[in-house]
Amino acid sequence: MAARYDRAITVFSPDGHLFQVEYAQEAVKKGSTAVGIRGKDIVVLGVEKKSVAKLQEERTVRKICALDEHVCMAFAGLTADARIVINRARVECQSHRLTVEDPVTVEYITRYIATLKQRYTQSNGRRPFGISALIVGFDYDGTPRLYQTDPSGTYHAWKANAIGRSAKTVREFLEKNYTEDAIAGDNDAIKLAIKALLEVVQSGGKNIELAVIRRNQPLKILESKEIETLVAEIEKEKEEEAEKKKQKKST
């Protein structure tokens, strides 16, 4: 049945599916994991870094990109599609600054990206973008925001979310561990993001890339040394927890 309705994007199947859009969502599930956390005074994006080939320069593969000084996004899915979307979003941010004389709100640029994606699910001769995006930033009134878009063109606001491979596992971890205490301080929010990624990433801190935006400050990509330090702290905390539990059991 699916075979007859999945060639053209503009054709619904009898039971109401747009198969091309669903296949695009499958492409997203193949991409490397990205996680986003909205703290009180900080927003954090973490991605799983794919191991680079020996001769490849590491710097050219960036999955976290700034859209403007106060907004950035991470994606999961087809990197080439993401490049186009990011470029259009960057132009839109500047265009908005030119016409409205104000920086974009995170919701506005998310709506723009989602509208762009939806347009490509309803046109002849085009296929949907095969990416989901996590867009984070601060509005100019200081509120932190996290939004997620998907290939069908819908978007929602989240407190914390994950996309890509093993997104379900990470989201379950976040549902259990995202509490007001857990994100009380900036470092706590960063550690929560790292803990969430460590659930699914293979070899620890080396394969994690992290970026943060603090209120009124531009995007900062953490260096691998800082990540290693934080991972070491997390390991220590885990051991201390395990020790405490052992002692409780023995007494």
Partner 1 sequence: MALFEVSGYKKYCELREQILPAGLTHLVDRPNHYNFGTKTREFAVPPGVDPSGFLRSCSQDGGVCIEMNHGTTTLAFKFKHGVIVAVDSRASAGNYLASKDANKVIEINSYLLGTMSGSAADCQHWERLLAKECRLYRLRNNQRISVAAASKLLSNMMLGYRGMGLSMGSMICGWDKQGPGLYYVDDNGTRLSGRMFSTGCGNSYAYGVVDSGYREDMTVEEAYELGRRGIAHATHRDAYSGGVVNMYHMREDGWIKVCKDDVSELIHHYRKGMF
Residue 106 half-sphere exposure toward CB, CA atoms < 13 A: 30
Contacts of partner 1 in 77-96 (CB under 8 A): 84, 92, 95-96
156: contact with partner 1 by CB under 8 A: no
Q: Quick check: 117 binds partner 1 (CB under 8 A)? A: no
Q: How far apart are alpha carbons 63 and 58 in whole angstroms?
A: 12
The rounded distance, in Å, linking the Cα atoms of 185 and 42 is 9
Amino acid residing at 170: V
Is 102 among the residues that bind partner 1 (CB under 8 A)? Answer: yes
Residue 149 makes contact with partner 1 by CB under 8 A: no
Q: Is 99 in the site for partner 1 (CB under 8 A)?
A: yes
Q: Does 101 participate in binding partner 1 (rule CB under 8 A)? A: yes
Out of 62, 69, 108, 207, the residue judged to bind partner 1 by CB under 8 A: 108
Distance CA 90, CA 79 (A): 16
Q: Does 100 bind partner 1 (CB under 8 A)?
A: yes
Q: How many residues bind partner 1 (CB under 8 A)?
A: 15
Contact assessment for residue 38 and residue 144, using Cβ atoms and an 8 Å cutoff:
yes
The answer to whether residues 197 and 63 touch, using CB atoms and an 8 Å cutoff, is no
Interacting residue with partner 1 among 98, 181, 247, 250 (CB under 8 A) = 98
- What's 1's DSSP letter? -
Stretch that binds partner 1, among 73-81, 117-125, 148-156, 226-234 (CB under 8 A): 117-125
Per CB under 8 A, 20 contacts partner 1? no
Asked if residue 230 lies in contact with residue 199, where contact means CB atoms within 8 angstroms, the answer is: no
**Euclidean distance between CA atoms 70 and 140, whole angstroms:** 9
Strand partners, 131: 77
Amino acid occupying residue 126: R
- Window 39-78: contact mask with partner 1 (x via CB under 8 A): ----------------------------------------
Choose the stretch contacting partner 1; rule: CB under 8 A; options: 11-19, 20-28, 100-108, 160-168: 100-108
Three-state DSSP string of 2-23: HHHHCCCCCCCCCCCCCHHHHH
Instruction: Provide the minimum distance between the beta carbon of 112 and partner 1 in the complex, in angstroms, as a whole number.
Output: 9
Contact status: 142 vs partner 1 (CB under 8 A) = no
Q: Which of 32, 33, 105, 152 binds partner 1 (CB under 8 A)?
A: 105
Q: How many CB atoms lie within 10 A of CB 157?
A: 14
Number of H helices, E strands in the chain: 7, 10
Q: Cβ of residue 116: shortest distance to partner 1, in angstroms?
A: 10
By CB under 8 A, is residue 5 in contact with partner 1? no
- Rounded to a whole number of angstroms, the minimum distance from the CB of residue 63 to partner 1 is 23
Q: Which residues bind partner 1 (CB under 8 A)?
A: 84, 92, 95-96, 98-102, 105, 108, 123-126
